[in-house]
A and B are shown apart, each in its own frame.
Chain A
């Protein structure tokens, strides 16, 4: 048996160490062609990866031509082994192609080839056998962080072969995985007919099934792939962002720390270039010695020990200063946030990280150790800034770019199609457009405009709907050339405008802090006919932790309105009810406490919210809620410590609801308006009671009298001081009420009747006066 005609390089899909090893292996092997685990549907797009205008991270997007929402992304970054292998092939002018099961089969629903959740955690099992907690940690240590990659791929093959044998015994292989491997082998056989020696880059798990090409029968593989239906597809490269890399999609790698991998990759490259200047000629990666995977572990131990006990010796010729760099960057980031960090912090952090790595038997400090060093040394145990470190440093803000020659995006296509259908013209000068929602075309246009707003395209602004229940909407349209960019930028949110708007809605919901704004967003979502369930969940969650009672109260009325009237869209609003009920409960629990020890301004704001909620509650028409509310108002009305303005208002609301009787009101008024009470407090109470309408004064004679009495007890200074406030209360009454009050005043209350002199009784006093003044005898 001569030189093998195929070399299988088992990798982890996003692994900087794997990427580096792959490039070195390809250099050493010099294969005639390279096969990559990826969708052959996109073979035509492969040369674009060699375009200098293409900057990773980018993603290969494969989507159904008929329904762009069914799509699949394959993200590539600088340190993706696939990306490096493809670039190597392009640079060295070797044919390169994808070999996975084509997406044209996978995306076709009837084929039932959905990517099933990985039932077997092969790496995990192997890692647990080696004493690691997770497969990722093990792989990281053994492959990605490895510096010496001699015989690495051979060792991976051996290890994976052992794992696969165990697993295939335990459970039958996944039908989907079997089909994929069959197709990969089919592609390999075809390539071998044309080329002498091929290199195959695939996920480590598949490596044994591809390497043992001869033990699989051509006919069996063909049978597996028979009868699959095709879907019409389109492919494109899209710019990707580091934050998207941390999500799971496409390859399902779900990298938590892309920037960290970038750092490993770059430091590896630096080491390589340093090495190549030292000694020309690479090492044979497929060396004949079969060293076990644990080889580096042992070495790491001895090195680790020397680190723990004494200072690090110059044992590593081309040491990569990764921990120093990483913690240095962390320190810079945190300094920018105002933390006082010195170089001493970084030094101590590196020492701790390396000691930890040694204690754990690792050859180098990994992300885990550096995180712990950051928290323990740089942040003094404070966890709060760790989120920032993760976002800014570990995920990063890397943004990819694609050349202009790539095909357009599904979202672009969708938006273009919608605009075309609406026959609106993209003009930069503002123009008005009236939409009649009963016409399907107009309704679609309105939906489009609302949805565009959600993804940050404020092309149209709705000037009003002409009242509840109206079918008319008046829009002002003004196009901005920047909107085209915005469509592309939003393409990561979804492939159709609807999907993107839904996604954007979820994002906005998370970002909004104020509950009232969130409630408004629910309204907007309903106008755009987007699903509101997630939004309501966010609202509910935020309401649970909200300590600001005003925010809680401000969310109540818009929701109640939606629930009561729905909208012209006839969207289901019933799901609002439970959220609203919980919100209401929170208001009921929180409000009494919030009304204590407040100043006049805050009390005023609370009163306004109280009015709104009272109205909203009336809309709801729920007796048990009304009862709770009424109890709450009673509590507010009677509680001494509550601000008088609120007390007055609560009384007014109870009066309106006929929960407070006329005599009850009189009693309250006597308590609130008398000499014992601070005049200012009394005036506040009065304002709370009367604001908006003074009819109560006209109808409640007893109240009128109490007010009159109180006013007459005020001394001049106090009266003048209170006058502006009283005037403010009274000025809010309408003219009819004021006229009636004037009439009542001129008619005068009963006491004025005593003005008429009783001459007979007055006469009786005259003799006494005469006696006093003149000394004349009393008769």
Chain B
């Protein structure tokens, strides 16, 4: 999560644009064999994702956390298996997917955004009806999907939010992944995948009301679950970094968020998420919400806005309390017991947390 290198006029550059020089350096220094159709060797992809140094060029870490997860993801793709990244929101699924495809194919733009209203043409191909009427079915009248383009070009296609795609549309992927061909029945032709083609899909495993993957489709993916940050320090670092960046962009006149408050918020989230206090002494009931790092970031941000607009500009417990309560109590009925038990038995007992306890008690 480092700053993009080139200041272009777009709001957000693609990974392969933002980290072009890193990719070039890796490519130059890459002596290991590459799987067919790959821009880099698996070892170089690993370095790109996890950070390191090559021939004097520093490679920034794109993923902070367990290196094994990235290794499994790369090994999956190297064995030509499709990769499914699962995890709660805010664990960096899309981020990893984007950087993996940027490193492997040099192109992270072959993207399908899964929605409930999607039809098969988003995964296969559609038609330019004007030309279809004028010319009849032809290659020229066809509008290929990103997946089809990835197959033809030997690149990695990305499918975001796979579980939001209706089941019958998901099924289109099954043949595509096992046969590696896409028949175009209207033309009596087919597109055969070129080496290098693969699919990285992401899915939120705690989402409700989604289309579960059929076992036939699931079988074609290797599933990697991206965990929530492993240590308190790691998570505090992520929250601090992200909040700091947004804080600057909003040009708020407040002080930098106190590390101590961030630590508290992250601790609350971690403890409730794990159902265990950090010291491992007390077990806790877990609320129904996901309590991801992204939500912790949102709580701190909301607190900052509160303190800037209504407070003294200094992030206090009162500023955090209402956002914290709202974030933990996703379901006011179900989550009331875990939250009040937590407040009573943990927050109240911590000597320097009294202000947070009082603030949260008021917010309830």
- Set of chain B residues within 8 Å of A743, measured between Cβ atoms: none
Flag A325-352 by CB within 8 Å of B: 1 or 0 each: 0000000000000001010110010011
Q: Which of B110-118, B182-190, B222-230, B234-242 contacts A (4 or more CB under 8 A)?
A: B222-230
Whether B225 pairs with A381 at a CB distance below 8 angstroms is yes
| A383→B284 CA distance, assembly (Å) | 21
Look across to chain B and name the residue whose beta carbon is closest to the beta carbon of A350.
Answer: B79
| A501→B61 CA distance, assembly (Å) | 53
Q: Which of B4-12, B96-104, B332-340, B356-364 contacts A (4 or more CB under 8 A)?
A: B332-340
Whether B79 pairs with A348 at a CB distance below 8 angstroms is yes
Would you call B164 an interface residue if the criterion is a C-beta within 8 Å of the partner chain's C-beta atoms? no
Q: Taking the nearest CB of chain B, how far is it from the CB of A200, in angstroms?
A: 39
Q: A359-B78, A589-B337 are in contact. Are A380 and B42 (CB under 8 A)?
A: no
| A586→B72 CA distance, assembly (Å) | 43
Would you call A585 an interface residue if the criterion is a C-beta within 8 Å of the partner chain's C-beta atoms? yes
Look across to chain B and name the residue whose beta carbon is closest to the beta carbon of A340.
Answer: B215
Q: Which residues of A contact B (CB under 8 A)?
A: 305, 308-309, 340, 342, 344-345, 348, 351-352, 355-356, 358-360, 372, 376-377, 379-383, 541-542, 544-545, 547, 582, 585-586, 589-590, 593
Q: A308-B42, A352-B79, A359-B71 are in contact. Are A545 and B222 (CB under 8 A)?
A: no
- Set of chain A residues within 8 Å of B43, measured between Cβ atoms: 359
A-contacting residues, B35-49, CB 8 Å: 35-36, 42-43, 46
Would you call B75 an interface residue if the criterion is a C-beta within 8 Å of the partner chain's C-beta atoms? yes
24 A-B contact pairs sorted by A residue (CB < 8 Å): A308-B33, A309-B36, A348-B81, A352-B75, A352-B79, A355-B42, A355-B75, A355-B79, A359-B42, A359-B78, A360-B71, A376-B72, A376-B223, A377-B81, A380-B84, A382-B223, A383-B225, A544-B284, A545-B284, A585-B341, A585-B344, A585-B345, A586-B341, A593-B336
Q: A380-B223, A381-B225, A544-B282 are in contact. Are A308 and B78 (CB under 8 A)?
A: yes
| A359→B72 CA distance, assembly (Å) | 9
Look across to chain A and name the residue whose beta carbon is closest to the beta carbon of B343.
Answer: A589
Whether A372 pairs with B68 at a CB distance below 8 angstroms is yes
Would you call B28 an interface residue if the criterion is a C-beta within 8 Å of the partner chain's C-beta atoms? no
- Set of chain B residues within 8 Å of A541, measured between Cβ atoms: 283
| A98→B33 CA distance, assembly (Å) | 52
A-B contacts besides A376-B223, A589-B337, A590-B337, 13 pairs, CB < 8 Å = A344-B219, A355-B42, A355-B78, A377-B81, A381-B225, A383-B225, A544-B284, A544-B345, A545-B275, A547-B285, A582-B345, A585-B341, A586-B341
One of A342, A351, A359 near B74 (C-beta < 8 A): A359
Would you call B181 an interface residue if the criterion is a C-beta within 8 Å of the partner chain's C-beta atoms? no
- Set of chain B residues within 8 Å of A351, measured between Cβ atoms: 79, 81
| A542→B74 CA distance, assembly (Å) | 40
Would you call B221 an interface residue if the criterion is a C-beta within 8 Å of the partner chain's C-beta atoms? yes
| A356→B215 CA distance, assembly (Å) | 25
| A342→B74 CA distance, assembly (Å) | 23
The secondary-structure label for the interface of chain A is: helix
Q: Taking the nearest CB of chain B, how far is it from the CB of A337, in angstroms?
A: 15
Would you call B232 an interface residue if the criterion is a C-beta within 8 Å of the partner chain's C-beta atoms? no
Whether B285 pairs with A380 at a CB distance below 8 angstroms is no
| A305→B41 CA distance, assembly (Å) | 10
Flag B152-183 by CB within 8 Å of A: 1 or 0 each: 00000000000000000000000000000000
- Set of chain B residues within 8 Å of A356, measured between Cβ atoms: 71-72, 75
- Set of chain A residues within 8 Å of B221, measured between Cβ atoms: 380
Q: Taking the nearest CB of chain A, how far is it from the CB of B84, in angstroms?
A: 7
- Set of chain A residues within 8 Å of B71, measured between Cβ atoms: 356, 359-360
Whether A309 pairs with B35 at a CB distance below 8 angstroms is yes
One of A342, A352, A381 near B86 (C-beta < 8 A): A381
Flag B60-84 by CB within 8 Å of A: 1 or 0 each: 0000000010011011101101001
Look across to chain A and name the residue whose beta carbon is closest to the beta carbon of B205.
Answer: A381
Q: A372-B72, A376-B223 are in contact. Are A381 and B283 (CB under 8 A)?
A: no
Q: Taking the nearest CB of chain B, how far is it from the CB of A639, in angstroms?
A: 14
Q: Taking the nearest CB of chain B, how far is it from the CB of A702, in angstroms?
A: 37
Q: Taking the nearest CB of chain B, how far is it from the CB of A10, in angstroms?
A: 30
Whether A544 pairs with B283 at a CB distance below 8 angstroms is yes
- Set of chain A residues within 8 Å of B344, measured between Cβ atoms: 585, 589
Whether A545 pairs with B72 at a CB distance below 8 angstroms is no
Q: Which residues of B contact A (CB under 8 A)?
A: 32-36, 42-43, 46, 68, 71-72, 74-76, 78-79, 81, 84, 86, 205, 215, 218-219, 221-225, 275, 282-285, 333, 336-337, 340-341, 344-345
Q: Taking the nearest CB of chain A, how far is it from the CB of B203, in angstroms?
A: 10
Whether B68 pairs with A345 at a CB distance below 8 angstroms is no
Whether A348 pairs with B345 at a CB distance below 8 angstroms is no
| A355→B224 CA distance, assembly (Å) | 15
- Set of chain B residues within 8 Å of A355, measured between Cβ atoms: 42, 75-76, 78-79
| A342→B79 CA distance, assembly (Å) | 18
Look across to chain A and name the residue whose beta carbon is closest to the beta carbon of B221.
Answer: A380
- Set of chain B residues within 8 Å of A360, measured between Cβ atoms: 71
Look across to chain A and name the residue whose beta carbon is closest to the beta carbon of B340.
Answer: A589
| A359→B40 CA distance, assembly (Å) | 13
Look across to chain A and name the residue whose beta carbon is closest to the beta carbon of B45.
Answer: A359
Q: A372-B72, A544-B284 are in contact. Are A589 and B341 (CB under 8 A)?
A: yes
| A360→B67 CA distance, assembly (Å) | 11
Q: Taking the nearest CB of chain B, how far is it from the CB of A547, in angstroms?
A: 7
Whether A376 pairs with B341 at a CB distance below 8 angstroms is no
- Set of chain B residues within 8 Å of A376, measured between Cβ atoms: 72, 76, 222-224
- Set of chain A residues within 8 Å of B275, measured between Cβ atoms: 545
- Set of chain A residues within 8 Å of B345, measured between Cβ atoms: 544, 582, 585
- Set of chain A residues within 8 Å of B79, measured between Cβ atoms: 308, 348, 351-352, 355
| A547→B222 CA distance, assembly (Å) | 35
Look across to chain A and name the residue whose beta carbon is closest to the beta carbon of B333.
Answer: A593
| A542→B215 CA distance, assembly (Å) | 35
- Set of chain B residues within 8 Å of A544, measured between Cβ atoms: 282-285, 341, 345
Q: Taking the nearest CB of chain A, how far is it from the CB of B50, in angstroms?
A: 12
Q: Taking the nearest CB of chain A, how far is it from the CB of B97, in angstroms?
A: 15
- Set of chain A residues within 8 Å of B33, measured between Cβ atoms: 305, 308-309
| A381→B34 CA distance, assembly (Å) | 27
Q: Taking the nearest CB of chain A, how far is it from the CB of B287, in angstroms?
A: 12
- Set of chain B residues within 8 Å of A309, measured between Cβ atoms: 33-36
Q: Taking the nearest CB of chain B, how far is it from the CB of A641, in angstroms?
A: 11
Whether A352 pairs with B225 at a CB distance below 8 angstroms is no
| A582→B281 CA distance, assembly (Å) | 14
Q: Taking the nearest CB of chain B, how far is it from the CB of A317, in angstroms?
A: 24
| A358→B76 CA distance, assembly (Å) | 12
| A380→B82 CA distance, assembly (Å) | 12
| A351→B222 CA distance, assembly (Å) | 11
Which of B76, B221, B275 neighbours the largest number of chain A CB atoms within 10 Å of its CB?
Answer: B76
- Set of chain B residues within 8 Å of A547, measured between Cβ atoms: 285
| A356→B68 CA distance, assembly (Å) | 9
Q: Taking the nearest CB of chain B, how far is it from the CB of A463, in angstroms?
A: 38
- Set of chain B residues within 8 Å of A542, measured between Cβ atoms: 283
| A376→B226 CA distance, assembly (Å) | 11
Whether B218 pairs with A359 at a CB distance below 8 angstroms is no
Q: A356-B75, A586-B341 are in contact. Are A381 and B84 (CB under 8 A)?
A: yes
Q: Taking the nearest CB of chain A, how far is it from the CB of B87, in angstroms?
A: 9
Q: Taking the nearest CB of chain B, how far is it from the CB of A575, in angstroms?
A: 16
Q: Taking the nearest CB of chain A, how far is it from the CB of B173, in angstroms?
A: 15
Q: Taking the nearest CB of chain B, how far is it from the CB of A52, in angstroms?
A: 44
Q: Taking the nearest CB of chain A, how far is it from the CB of B273, in angstroms?
A: 14
- Set of chain B residues within 8 Å of A586, measured between Cβ atoms: 341
Q: Taking the nearest CB of chain A, how far is it from the CB of B101, in angstroms?
A: 18
Look across to chain B and name the residue whose beta carbon is closest to the beta carbon of A351.
Answer: B79
Q: Taking the nearest CB of chain A, how far is it from the CB of B289, in angstroms?
A: 16
| A383→B218 CA distance, assembly (Å) | 15
Q: Taking the nearest CB of chain A, how far is it from the CB of B149, in angstroms?
A: 25
- Set of chain A residues within 8 Å of B34, measured between Cβ atoms: 309
| A309→B86 CA distance, assembly (Å) | 26
| A343→B221 CA distance, assembly (Å) | 15
Q: Taking the nearest CB of chain B, how far is it from the CB of A758, in angstroms?
A: 60
Q: Taking the nearest CB of chain A, how far is it from the CB of B176, in angstroms?
A: 17
| A728→B118 CA distance, assembly (Å) | 62
Q: A308-B35, A359-B43, A589-B340 are in contact. Are A352 and B81 (CB under 8 A)?
A: yes
